[in-house]
Amino acid sequence: MTKVVDIMELVFPAYRPVLTEMLDREGMNGDTTVAQVFAHFLPDNIKSPEERVALGALGGALNKHTANKFSPKLSLTKHCEILALYRMGYNADLLAKAYGVDRKTVTHMYNPQSPKYKGVKGQEKIMGTDGLIRVYVTDVVLAHIKNFETPVEELSNKYANKKEGVHLVQGINCTFKHRLEIRWCEPDEVEVKGWYYKDMDGDFPEAWIRGDDDSMKNSQACLNFALKDISDPL
């Protein structure tokens, strides 16, 4: 059974002290199970609208905890496949769909500022990006990922180029300004033609990177995506 202490950090911060006061008042503590809390705090034991909302926040935390507990657990091999495919230019939304995880999980894998997924990041350091791609992007992996691709070439506009070129910008995950190049790329140099960006002050300054399908439609959309995606080098 899930204890309150197991999920307290998932409770919306403003309601943690309210829950703590409620438990203290009724002789309970963090070792009390969530089920016992809900069974005890019937309408007669709820003293204010704030306490009622706090119980709702506890329920929301339990829901998050359960979702995380039963979310897909991928092997290190799958992590390496995801990172290698991302380095090749496949976007995080596509990879999340293909591997049954959320986009944030993919972002943590490639973002050097994230403390998560050290195993796959360590593999890339040992093998190098080129080695990671050669080992993990097999014909089977490519066949799998293609099942989830949607054609975006017809939707992309080569002449919507207002933001084409080099920009000096500071993304939301950056601590300093990066040189960011926006460019239309053809199939002879990338997997799918469309608008790509190059973070010349990031971890991979020579790589053309694509965002989600919408970001490839025009130069402005590509720039908007890049500002949310780039991060300082490791």
* Sequence letter at residue 77: T
| Domain range list for the chain | 4-69, 76-146, 153-229
pLDDT of the chain along its 234 residues, tens only?
A: 789 998 888 888 888 999 999 999 999 998 999 889 998 998 888 999 889 888 888 888 887 776 655 455 788 899 999 999 999 888 888 898 899 888 888 888 888 878 888 889 988 988 889 989 998 999 999 988 888 876 555 568 888 999 999 999 999 889 999 999 999 998 777 767 889 999 999 888 888 888 888 898 899 999 999 999 998 887
**Are the CB atoms for 180 and 200 separated by under 8 Å?**
yes
DSSP secondary structure code for residue 157 in this structure: -
For the CA atoms of 37, 43, 48, 51, what is the dihedral angle to 10 degrees?
A: 20
At 198, list the tokens.
């190059």
| Distance, CA of 42 to CA of 74 (rounded, Å) | 40
- Cα separation, 41 vs 89, whole angstroms: 52
Are 167 and 149 within 8 A, CB to CB?
no
Indicate the pTM of the whole model.
0.43
Angle, CA of 60, 65 and 68, to the nearest 5°: 125
Strand, coil or helix: 156:
coil
